[in-house]
Amino acid sequence: MILMRSCRGVAGWAAVFILTFGVTSWAEEMFYREVPKDGQLYVFAQMREFAAWQSSGKLSVAVTRPGYGPNGETVVFDSHEAVNAYNFKHDKPGEVFAEETSKATKDAPSVKVGGTIFTDFTYSDEPRILDSDGNTVNPSAFDVSRAYINLSGNISHLVSFRITPDIRRLSTNTRNLGPSESVTSSQEGSLTVRLKYTYGQVNLDGFLTKGSWGRIGLQTTPFIDFYEGIYRYRFQGTTVTDREGFLSPADFGVSIHYNVRNDYGDVHVGVYNGETFVRSDPNDQKAVQIRGTLRPLPRSDAFKGMRLTAFYDADRYVTGGPRDRFVGLASFEHKYANAGLEYFGAKDQPSATVQAVKARGYSLWATPKVGRGVEGFLRYDNVKPNTDVSARKKRAIAGVAYWFPVLKDKGPLSAALLADYERVNYDALPAGTLVSPLVALGKATEKRFSVHCLFNF
């Protein structure tokens, strides 16, 4: 009997609670007030805002519309819900607000397609070659040196992806062949397709700073992709560490990127196979790569484009065979000129049974901007494949570029023409000298004139 009374009591209180909560919620949802005051009309759709306004005379959120009232008075709303409630009552059309559209589309999937084309004409002044009839000629050719198809999109506001096939000319690598060995292919010289980037990304904006993310798959490595965002002349040729084979712009792995608050810089760290995007991993060794960038004066109009960057790649060919790289970069971006100074050091020991070779070098470039899209282009590379000897490989480039005007609000559009002259000198080495397996010396001087074109969309 006592138990039954207790149950009835609990049921009664539950009914009172449900009834009270339901009525309160219904009243909150159905609440609407129009209050004229001081020549203005205040409209409320939230009971709590109305109560707070009565006591303080202030609104936490206010949407003000001059002349919107029935008699031309200013109307102050406590929310966008109040605007639409007022519109309904006064026979005005309903409205959709930007934040509501944003909420509705925030998790909507999207796919974007873009592309990049590098095409050129090159005339070689030196060295001259023999044609099929044995005539000495200066080689020249039109070419498409690289083309990317960029497919990217969002699965949700948290998850995105990118797939980039890379179209390039097939060329047999004979670097490690003996003097009597050769490789032939029926596709030699053909334009072929391979994957450059294929990764999934988790956007960490909601957990860390804006622009922070994590990636897995075939992706950009920390240094090259970052650097090419400053050095815009990738279509003329890659940066020195990429061109000489010390670093790769892409590899298989996992990485995380973090933007420092207030635009003071960023950090990108990852673990990769270390074999670049053109080869699978042949062993158990992995590369750990980290880049840190400092922007010392992000609020300075004159010096906010100055950045200091350090990069380190700790890798091994095999156990006990280091493949290490260090890069220091000072870069500067300004409306009148961009410039960069890159210094690198490398240590290569392909096998524990051979001697390690240390290499180092630097690259200096500048792009003074004349105006109306015209820029100068100057670059000098100096590479020492063995730090124990003085022999070097030296590259000098000078040119003039024109950047076409593009629609600035239509994504990463760019188009440019560059006419340049490039000279490469190779010092001779003493017989039997070990050098980095990535850089050849003792070759003939190269002199070439080129016109390069960039199309990015």
Average pLDDT of the residues in 64-84 = 89
pLDDT-based confidence at residue 168 (cuts at 50, 70, 90): confident
Average pLDDT of the residues in 162-186 = 58
Q: Is 363 exposed, middle or buried (0-12, 13-18, 19+ CB in 10 A)?
A: buried
Average pLDDT of the residues in 131-146 = 93
Least confident range from 6-15, 60-69, 121-130: namely 6-15
pTM of the model: 0.73
Least confident range from 49-58, 93-102, 359-368: namely 93-102
Residue 397 to residue 423: CA distance in whole angstroms = 7
Beta strands 374-384 and 357-371, pairing class:
antiparallel
Least confident range from 100-114, 134-148, 185-199, 266-280: namely 100-114
Quick: pLDDT tens for 80-136: 888 988 988 888 888 877 655 555 555 678 899 999 999 999 999 999 999 999 999
One-letter identity of residue 279: R
Quick: pLDDT tens for 402-413: 999 987 656 678
pLDDT at position 97:
75
Give which of 204, 200, 227 is closest to 308, Cα–Cα. 227
Phi-psi region of 232 (alpha: psi -120 to 50; beta: other; left: phi over 0): alpha
Least confident range from 234-238, 276-280, 307-311, 337-341: namely 276-280
CATH says 109-171+189-456 is which class? mainly beta
Q: Which residue has the higher pLDDT, 176 or 333?
A: 333
Range 29-68 burial, b when 16+ CB lie within 10 A, else e: eebbbbeeeeeebbbbbbbebbebbeeeeebeeebeeeeb
Quick: pLDDT tens for 205-237: 888 998 999 999 999 999 999 999 999 999 999
The values of phi and psi at residue 15, to 5°, are -65, -40
Q: HEC string of the chain?
A: CHHHHHHHHHHHHHHHHHHHHHHHHHHHHHCCEEEEECCEEEEECCHHHHHHHHHHCCCCCCEEECCCCCCCCEEEECCHHHHHHHHHHCCCCCCCCHHHHHHHHCCCCEEEEEEEEEEEEEEEEECCEECCCCCEECCEEEEEEEEEEEEEEECCCCEEEEEEEEEEECCCCCCCCCCCCCCCCCCCCCEEEEEEEEEEEEECCCCCCCCCEEEEEEEECCCHHHHHCCCCCCCCCCCHHHHCCCCCCEEEEEEEEEECHHHCEEEEEEEECCCCCCCCCCCCCCEEEEEEEECCCCCCCCCCCEEEEEEEEECEEECCEEEEEEEEEEEEECCCEEEEEEEEEEEECCCCCCCCEEEEEEEEEEEEEEECCEEEEEEEEEEECCCCCCCCEEEEEEEEEEECCCCCCCCCCEEEEEEEEEEEEECCCCCCCCCCCCCCCCCCCEEEEEEEEEEEC
Give which of 302, 294, 361, 383 is closest to 337, Cα–Cα. 302
Mean pLDDT of the chain: 85
pLDDT at position 274:
94
Domain boundaries, the chain: 2-102, 109-171+189-456
Q: Are 146 and 118 in contact (CB under 8 A)?
A: yes
How many other C-beta atoms can be found within 10 angstroms of the C-beta atom of residue 202?
14
Q: Is 332 exposed, middle or buried (0-12, 13-18, 19+ CB in 10 A)?
A: middle
Least confident range from 248-252, 312-316, 346-350, 426-430: namely 426-430
Q: The tokens of 26 are what? A: 């219904």
How many other C-beta atoms can be found within 10 angstroms of the C-beta atom of residue 86?
21
Q: The tokens of 419 are what? A: 């006419």
Q: Are 323 and 352 in contact (CB under 8 A)?
A: no
Residue 136 to residue 397: CA distance in whole angstroms = 26
